Amino acid sequence: MRGLYGTEIALSASRIDRFASCRYAFFLYDGLRLRPWKQARFDAPVFGTFVHFVLEHTVREVMERGGFAAVSEQALMEIAGRHAEHYTKTYLPDFEKRGERFAYLFARNMREAMAVVRDVGAELRVSAFRPCDEELSFAPDGALPPVRVRTAQGDGVISGFVDRVDLYETEKTAYFRVVDYKTGRKDFDYADILCGEGLQMLIYLFALQKNGEQRYGRKIFPAGVLYVPAREDMERIDPGGGPEELEALRAKHRRRKGLVLRDEAVLQAMEPSEGTPQYLPYQVKKGELTGDLAGREQLEQLERFVMRSVQEMTGQMLTGRLEPNPILRGPMHSSCMYCDFAQACHRDSCKHANRYIAAVKAEKFWEELERRARHG
């Protein structure tokens, strides 16, 4: 493998996910650099780039104007509309020549992007967590250094960026959270984490904790990771349903996925609420907090698990572990289902290598982390 990677392999979140999902797909895509032919169109990746651009520049300008509490919703939408127009003129100069279907899809995605901006604005207008970085890069020439993982076989160097970092400061302590805008269907999933997938936000959360003082001038503590739904993805509504059903579905969709610190003062700073919050991934039942929450010791345990997982995968990459081992979560959730390299690996012949992964609830996840910690 040294002919392909040397003794230091450049990694990213997508590369780690690809390896965790199936070693052979990683080898073909990242080792041999095979690429499927794809027709250019305004699809999910293009929309993702568009909405990320609008959110990044809108949030940055709003903070320069004093923050979301100082900017009305009307002004917020005007700012977002201006940045959307700038994106169109700069990156889609041939917009009018792309046909009616492209224009229709773009108009629909524009409406979705504006709805996301309005939603993010409503959340941040009442939050004590304030955006302090957009598109924060971890790279040799970035705002912060890349994450280096050392193994006996060589090093892995993880570069990338986070969409947004929010900071909450008190006289004694500063807390931060890492925010990712999700234009796809990927959620925070405990089973994925146990398999080594979906680690991006957690890797950067813990890297920022270590390097945050040089960036923000004081020691900072992790308050969690949040995945913000960055597109309208409404479920089918019963034709007999009314406005209340529609609003209930919208509220369900607006709820963030992720993991937040089990600290009531910090949670109230994120979103003031007398009961179950509108945005955060936890509920209040009979006075008790339940949901995707982690105590400080659990976050420390999670950090050790995540970095050990990345270290193990890096070592396997550098030693040439490339046999197929696709993840199977059910008949409609398989690493092979949309794989570009199905013909290359003859997936029918490697069914014995499938890793059958069951869904994992939060309680079982933390129990499994404790079990693995005890047994090394």
DSSP 109-146: HHHHHHHHHHHHHHHHHS-S-EEEEEEEEESTTSSBPP
Confidence at residue 4, expressed as pLDDT on a 0 to 100 scale: 67
Are 342 and 232 part of one and the same domain? Answer: yes
The pLDDT tens digits of the residues spanning 315-331 come to 999 988 888 888 887 76
Q: Is the pLDDT of residue 304 over 70?
A: yes
Q: Are residues 291 and 374 in the same domain?
A: yes
pLDDT one-digit tens code per residue, 131-147: 999 999 999 999 999 99
Q: Is the pLDDT of residue 247 over 80?
A: no
**Pick from 124, 146, 162: which residue ends a domain?**
124
Say whether both 203 and 173 belong to one domain. yes
Parent domain of 341: 1-35+130-376
Nearest CA to 121 out of 79, 173, 176, 180 is that of 79
119-128 per-position pLDDT tens digit: 999 999 999 9
Same structural domain, 110 and 189: no
Residues 366 and 249 in one domain: yes
Predicted confidence band at 237 (pLDDT cuts at 50, 70, 90)? very low
- pTM listed for this prediction: 0.90
Under 8 Å between Cβ of 262 and 293 = yes
Element (H, E) at 373: helix 362-374
246 and 112 within one domain: no
pLDDT at 310 over 80: yes
Share of the chain above pLDDT 70, in %: 89
Q: Domain count of the chain? A: 2
Mean pLDDT, rounded, for 99-107: 86
* Mean pLDDT of all residues belonging to the chain: 88
Q: Which of 97, 124, 151 is the last residue of a domain?
A: 124
The answer on 71 and 9 residing in a single domain is no
| pLDDT of 109 over the 50 cut | yes
Output the DSSP codes for 232-290: --PPP--TT--HHHHHHHHHHHHSPEEEEES-HHHHHHHS--SSS-SSSSEEEETTEEE
**Is residue 17 domain-shared with residue 98, that is, in the same domain?**
no
The residue-averaged pLDDT of 21-30 equals 90
Mean pLDDT computed over 1-11? 75
pLDDT for 344-372, tens place per residue? 776 555 555 678 888 999 999 999 999 99
Which of residues 124, 142, 163 is at a domain's end? 124
Question: How confident is the model at residue 144, as a pLDDT?
Answer: 95
What Å distances lie between residue 367 and 138, 283, 299, 308, 364, CA to CA? 32, 21, 13, 17, 5
pLDDT of residue 115: 92
pLDDT of res. 231: 73
CA distance 93 to 160: 28
342 band by pLDDT with thresholds 50, 70 and 90: confident
Are 219 and 307 in the same domain? yes
Q: Are residues 12 and 62 in the same domain?
A: no
Is residue 200 over pLDDT 80?
yes
Residues 181, 63 share a domain: no
Residues 6+ apart with CB under 8 A from 220: 167, 174, 175, 176, 208, 209, 212, 213
Q: Do 285 and 308 sit in the same domain of this protein?
A: yes
Answer whether residue 232 shows pLDDT above 80.
no
* Residues whose CB is less than 8 angstroms from the CB of residue 153 and which lie 6 or more positions away in sequence, other chains included: 7, 314, 315, 318, 319
User: Residue 17 pLDDT more than 50?
Assistant: yes
Q: Which residues contact 11 (CB under 8 A, 6 or more apart)?
A: 149, 156, 157, 158, 159, 310, 314
CA distance 332 to 334: 6
